[in-house]
């Protein structure tokens, strides 16, 4: 029996090339687990940057080129690509074309796999007209269908595994669970009335100006910073060249704890525990919305500043329903965080708006939860005939 005649061993193959550190693989890893756990699918995830993946899945660190973890088969994407039987459905994440030999095998399979191009998340209106469209291969009898994650019923929705929001609500309602979780990560008991803030961002040249404000403020701030790209800017404020996980730095009313890199479950709990979350890229951006807390997004920078259009498109949706002052303050601070204005000048009004953003963030999260989740959208796509 030829390879083309064999029955596929996997329901899904997901291909991921790591571009944005943990954003691309973060999305793909969560998607793979959601398809396996929530839909009972056999999933194989191909990733080219094994070292980055191992930060999210420590079991991969000493596993060579393959590991089975959390119900998912994960393979290192190497060249030359091995001869494998394609899965019943294939996801190329963020337009990372699967290997040519694999695409040829897809064309030779009977029946041919459903081929889905999972695009980047966007709040722009145009994605609704492109979501679900098919593009024929120029040479082979194949077509790929485009799936655009988004914030409306006419998009692919967002990644949201079953039970996530119930787990969030239990954690946020349980002060003892939150205290124990923080203590288990070496985080000291916050000062009376302190604001807990998490910081996961790209490099931020203006950050010392903001930290200076927090250090001089009457209200204490406990800043929790997982190891990552923005840590250098934090250390610059404290006059330090380096600091290891577990370090606690203080200046005035500001206390800062350097955290180790967190796995996906612990990162969710960090977001759930904090009153304000600074996030970046796509994966942590979505998880901050499920945390139902006020947040600030550091969008991935693109050529010709097109990321500013994407930022404004999201703000137009997210800020709908807020009063004008809170909306203006949030927009000004987010733009400053993304290089369009002064953080120090924008912070006071944004801080004043935070009490209004607390219930607003919950309403926003509840509204998104009423939409179909992304994994379910992809399963639905895989059951359709691509025309």
* Residue closest to 274 by CA, chosen among 168, 352, 370: 168
Calpha distance 323→320 (Å, rounded): 9
Is 294 in contact with 311 (CB distance < 8 Å)? no
Please state the separation of Cα 202 from the chain's center in Å.
14
Look at strands 134-136 and 143-147 and give their pairing.
Answer: antiparallel
- Contacts of 131-140 spanning 24+ positions with Cβ under 8 A: 131/155, 131/156, 132/381, 134/386, 134/387, 137/103, 137/107, 140/103, 140/104, 140/106, 140/107
Name the active-site residue from 92, 119, 233, 282: 282
Look at strands 195-199 and 66-69 and give their pairing.
Answer: unpaired
Calpha distance 136→145 (Å, rounded): 9
* Residue closest to 297 by CA, chosen among 358, 152, 164, 308: 308
What number of other Cβ atoms are within 10 A of residue 93's Cβ?
A: 24
The set of residues, in sequence order, having a beta carbon less than 8 Å from that of 101 and lying 6+ positions away, is: 80, 81, 83
Angle formed at CA 83 by CA 81 and CA 84, multiple of 5 degrees: 105
Name the active-site residue from 11, 24, 268, 373: 24
User: Active site includes 282?
Assistant: yes
Q: For 137-264, where are the E strands, in sequence order?
A: 143-147, 195-199, 221-226, 248-251, 254-259
Residues classed as catalytic:
24, 282
């Amino acid at each position: 029996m030829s390879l083309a005649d064999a029955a596929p061993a996997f329901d899904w193959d997901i291909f991921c090339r790591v571009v944005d550190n943990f954003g691309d693989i973060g999305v793909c890893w969560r998607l793979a687990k959601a398809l396996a756990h929530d839909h009972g699918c056999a999933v194989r995830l191909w990733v080219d940057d094994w070292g980055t993946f191992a930060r999210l899945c420590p079991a991969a660190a000493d596993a060579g080129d393959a590991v089975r973890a959390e119900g998912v088969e994960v393979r290192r994407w190497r060249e030359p690509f091995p001869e494998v039987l394609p899965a019943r459905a294939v996801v190329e994440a963020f337009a990372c074309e699967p290997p040519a030999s694999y695409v040829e095998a897809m064309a030779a399979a009977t029946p041919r796999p459903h081929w889905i191009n999972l695009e980047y998340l966007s709040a722009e209106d145009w994605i609704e007209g492109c979501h679900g469209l098919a593009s024929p291969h120029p040479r082979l009898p194949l077509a790929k269908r485009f799936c655009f994650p988004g914030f409306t019923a006419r998009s692919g929705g967002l990644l949201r595994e079953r039970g996530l929001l119930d787990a969030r609500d239990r954690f946020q309602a349980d002060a003892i669970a939150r205290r124990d979780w923080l203590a288990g990560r070496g985080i000291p008991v916050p000062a009376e009335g302190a604001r807990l803030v998490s910081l996961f961002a790209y490099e931020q040249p203006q950050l010392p100006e903001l930290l200076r404000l927090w250090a001089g403020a009457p209200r204490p701030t406990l800043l929790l910073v997982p190891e990552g790209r923005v840590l250098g800017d934090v250390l610059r404020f404290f006059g330090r060249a380096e600091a290891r996980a577990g370090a606690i730095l203080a200046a005035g009313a500001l206390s800062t704890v350097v955290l180790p890199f967190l796995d996906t479950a612990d990162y969710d709990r960090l977001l759930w525990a904090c009153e304000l979350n600074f996030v970046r890229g796509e994966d942590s951006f979505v998880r901050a919305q499920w945390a139902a807390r006020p947040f600030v997004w550091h969008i991935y920078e693109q050529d010709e500043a097109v990321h500013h259009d994407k930022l404004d498109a999201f703000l137009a949706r997210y800020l709908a329903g807020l009063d004008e002052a809170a909306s203006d303050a949030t927009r000004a601070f987010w733009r400053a965080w993304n290089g369009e204005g002064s953080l120090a000048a924008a912070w006071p009004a944004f801080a004043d708006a935070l009490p209004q953003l607390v219930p607003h963030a919950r309403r926003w999260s509840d509204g998104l939860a009423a939409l179909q989740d992304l994994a379910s959208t992809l399963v639905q796509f895989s059951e359709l005939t691509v025309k």
